[in-house]
Every structure is written in C-alpha cells, then in structure tokens.
C-alpha cells in the first residue's frame, strides 16, 4: 500500500488516524476487507485520504484537501520493520553520508520542493540505523564481557594470529598484538627503523568528558624465546 500511495502522492508524509479490518468476511458479506484514514504530518497541510481494500484485493484511495507546506519544513516517514532491516544491510558496508546523497538524487523535483523526504531519512537517523546493524554482531551488550568473549574466540581459533591480548578495566586499556606481527616487527627492527603512528579524530573539550577514554599500548621486547 505504501508503494501505491507514493505513486499517487509523492509530496506529503502521512500518519495513521484510524483503521479497521473485517475478520469474518465470508459470513458478514462485507465488501470491504480493510480501510484506513491518514493525514499529512506537515503543519498547516490539510491533505487527508481514505483507503480501502475490497474483496478483489484492489486498493482504492480518495484524497481530500490542498497541499500546503512551509519552505523550511522537512518530514520523513518512520523507517520500521522490513524497511529498517533492509537499510541495516545496506548501511553495514556504506557510510551514512554517502547513502544520504544517493537517496537525495533519487527524489523527484516535486518531493524536494515540498520538503517530503520519505525514503531519504536524515543523516542522524542513518547513523542510528548503522549503529543498530553493528550492535547485532556484538557478542554481549556489556562491553567488557563482549571483549573477553572476542579474546577467547580469537585464541581458540588461532593462537598465533589472535590480536586481542590484554584487557584492563582501570585504566581502560586494550593491548593488541599477535605473534605473527611481533615476528614481522622484530625482523624489520633488526635492519631498519620502525615508526609507529597514531591517527584519530580531534575531540572538542565539551565532548571529551562524554567519551570513554582508552589507552592503546604496543609493546615488544627483544628476547631469545617468543611466547
């Protein structure tokens, strides 16, 4: 029904007012199986519509009112259920900013001029959906338990290539190294100079207090036997 509605009206974003369904159609003899009423959520817009599905599974839509949107107002239909799951799969390997620009290019001129952004949510919403898609892969909601599970799985799968070696809670510290990487570093340091660079984002003063601070430490030692 949503796809049919978008073809009939691409400039309004609708929300449900009421709906009902006929459950005993054979006994009651009703011609209408489902009906609903919706309204445009833009302030000042008087557009409403009534739709119903008959026994032949045909959708009938009747609009009322005149479109009236403010130039600065933007609105988008909520991304839920199957649409949200599909977007999670897309954003799992794509930046929200890139996906936002691609969806903006798909909107027609009338939708852009009206402020309707159905199918093209804001970048903040896309970031939230991307976080949800990544959170599904976390072994545990507790960050410390998740780290310990990851460490155990890595060492059980391949001790020589496991990267997470030490987890400390105070101060929050993670030690990343593997036996293979240590052998490579040791062979390079014998003949050349090794430079270790740390890159990251610059945080403003008011944001530092809101973030969890981590210490990332890389250590190696020249010994005869490597464990």
Tens of pLDDT, residues 8-17: 788 888 887 7
Residue that wins the pLDDT comparison between 59 and 130: 130
Mean pLDDT of 64-89: 87
With a cut of 80, say whether residue 74 has pLDDT above it. yes
User: What would the CATH number be for the domain defined by 2-64?
Assistant: 3.10.450
Buried b (16+ CB within 10 A) or exposed e, 193-213: eeeeeeeeeeeeeeeeeeeee
**CA separation for the pair 42, 75 (Å, rounded):** 7
- The mean pLDDT value for 60-64 works out to 84
Distance, in Å, from the CA atom of 14 to the CA atom of 49, rounded to the nearest integer, reads 9
Measured CA to CA, the distance from residue 110 to residue 158 in angstroms comes to 57
CB distance 133 to 89 below 8 Å? yes
Domain ranges of the chain: 2-64, 81-135, 139-191+205-227
Residues for the chain: how many in total? 227
Contact 11, 111 (CB under 8 A): yes
81-92 average pLDDT score: 88
Question: How far is 217 from 171, CA to CA, in rounded Å?
Answer: 12
Residues 12, 42: contact at Cβ < 8 Å?
yes
CA distances 42 to 2, 48, 77, Å, are: 18, 11, 11
Report how far apart, in Å, the C-alpha atoms of 151 and of each of 154, 179, 215, 218, 226 are: 5, 14, 17, 17, 20
Bridge partners of 61, per DSSP, are: 51
Dihedrals φ, ψ of 68, to 5°?
A: -150, 100
- Are 61 and 38 a contacting pair, CB within 8 Å? no
Contact indicator for 71, 55 with CB cutoff of 8 Å: no
Decide if pLDDT at 78 tops 70: yes
Question: In this model, does residue 216 exceed pLDDT 80?
Answer: no
* For range 92-115, the mean pLDDT: 88
Q: Can you point out the beta strands (E) in 41-88?
A: 48-54, 59-64
What SS3 state is found at 40?
Answer: strand
pTM confidence score = 0.51
Q: Is the model more confident about 74 or about 16?
A: 74
Q: Quickly tell me which residue has 């496991």 as its tokens.
A: 162
Kindly state the average pLDDT of the residues 53-80: 85
For 61, the 3-state DSSP assignment is strand
224 pLDDT band, cuts 50/70/90, is very low
């Amino acid at each position: 029904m949503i796809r049919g509605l978008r073809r009939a009206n691409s400039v309004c974003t609708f929300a449900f007012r009421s709906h009902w369904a006929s459950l005993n159609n054979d006994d009651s003899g009703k011609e209408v199986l489902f009906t609903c009423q919706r309204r445009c959520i833009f302030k000042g817009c008087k557009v409403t519509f009534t739709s119903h599905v008959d026994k032949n599974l045909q959708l009938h839509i009747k609009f009322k009112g005149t479109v009236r949107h403010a130039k600065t107002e933007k609105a988008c239909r909520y991304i839920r259920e199957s649409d949200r799951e599909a977007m999670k799969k897309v954003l799992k390997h794509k930046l929200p900013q890139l996906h936002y620009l691609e969806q903006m290019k798909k909107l027609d001129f009338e939708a852009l001029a009206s402020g309707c952004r159905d199918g093209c949510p804001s970048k903040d919403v896309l970031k939230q959906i991307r976080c949800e898609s990544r959170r599904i892969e976390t072994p545990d909601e507790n960050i410390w338990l998740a780290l310990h599970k990851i460490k155990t799985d890595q060492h059980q799968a391949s001790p020589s290539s496991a990267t997470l070696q030490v987890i400390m809670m105070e101060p929050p510290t993670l030690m990343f190294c593997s036996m293979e990487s240590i052998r490579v570093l040791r062979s390079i340091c014998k003949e050349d100079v090794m430079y270790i660079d740390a890159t990251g984002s610059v945080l403003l003063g008011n944001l530092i207090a809101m973030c969890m601070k981590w210490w990332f430490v890389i250590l190696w030692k020249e010994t005869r036997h490597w464990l």
